[in-house]
Amino acid sequence: MKLLYEGKAKQLFECENKDEIYVHYKNSATAFNGEKKEEFDFKGSFNNNITSLIFEYLEREGVETHFIKKINETDQLCKHVKIIPLEVIVRNIVAGSMAKKYGLEEGTKLIKPVFELSYKNDELNDPLINDDHAVALGIVTEEELNIIKKQALIINNLLQKLYLKSNLILVDFKIEFGKTKSGKVILADEISPDTCRLWDVNTNEKLDKDRFRRDLGSVMEAYEEVLRRLKNAKS
Ligand code: UDP
């Protein structure tokens, strides 16, 4: 298969049907714009299984996504979309860059979810932008942005519900949207412990990529635990 694109965590291959794409989840973990890098056995498998389970759940709940089906432990078949270069972030609890930027204590509950946008550009270090920037720079139309915002908040509610059943608190997460050939904006990319902050509901223990970013150890044990809990919650 022809490799179309290689990112930090995934490879995208061309399919015979040009409306589809074959996604391979790699074992690489990166942080701080690729400055910190490590290979972890089974990471690709955990993230593929977690993303597949979550996208199947979102589809069942009426959210249209690029996901078609899981093919094997590390690969999935998806609709071929053009990724909109925005990192769409939703926060329920203060953590990470928000804590740092505003001098807030990590763990502070927000009165309402915060919707944030970053311009996806590694060279510029994904700068934070506002709604006007996104439209004025031609990244999205006003209408597309409204769809993204509405979908992001619906997805936040659905994910919070699913994770809570798994005894996990959804602190914050990043999603990406893509455009189909017909111009429809749908959820794409992945939803995994790489892209969500997940804390144990009883102990506040971190079960996400912060274990890698902050050298807390037991990184894959945490990803495996998230998958185990999600599977249990489903059954
Ligand atoms: N995030 C991500 N990819 C990025 C930046 C952030 O998946 O390139 C996720 C991150 O895992 C967290 C949320 O988005 O769940 C908010 O991240 P934050 O802005 O706090 O940045 P960080 O502290 O990760 O630099």
Q: Does residue 195's CB lie within 6 angstroms of at least one atom of ligand 1?
A: yes
| Rounded mean pLDDT, 151-162 | 98
pLDDT of residue 235: 61
Residue 164 confidence (pLDDT) above 80: yes
Instruction: Name the residue at shortest CA distance from atom 25 of ligand 1.
Output: 97
Atom of ligand 1 nearest to the CA of 126: 8
Task: Determine the atom of ligand 1 nearest the C-alpha atom of 209.
Answer: 11
Would you say the CB of residue 173 lies under 6 angstroms from ligand 1?
A: yes
Q: How far apart are the C-alpha atoms of 235 and 232, rounded to whole Å?
A: 5
Average pLDDT over residues 150-161: 98
**Model confidence at 39: pLDDT above 90:** yes
Atom of ligand 1 nearest to the CA of 173: 15
Q: Which residues of 72-81 are buried (b: 16+ CB within 10 A; e: fewer)?
A: eebbbbbbbb
Tens of pLDDT, residue by residue over 118-141, are: 999 999 999 999 999 999 999 999
Task: With H, G, I as helix, E, B as strand and everything else as coil, classify residue 163.
Answer: helix
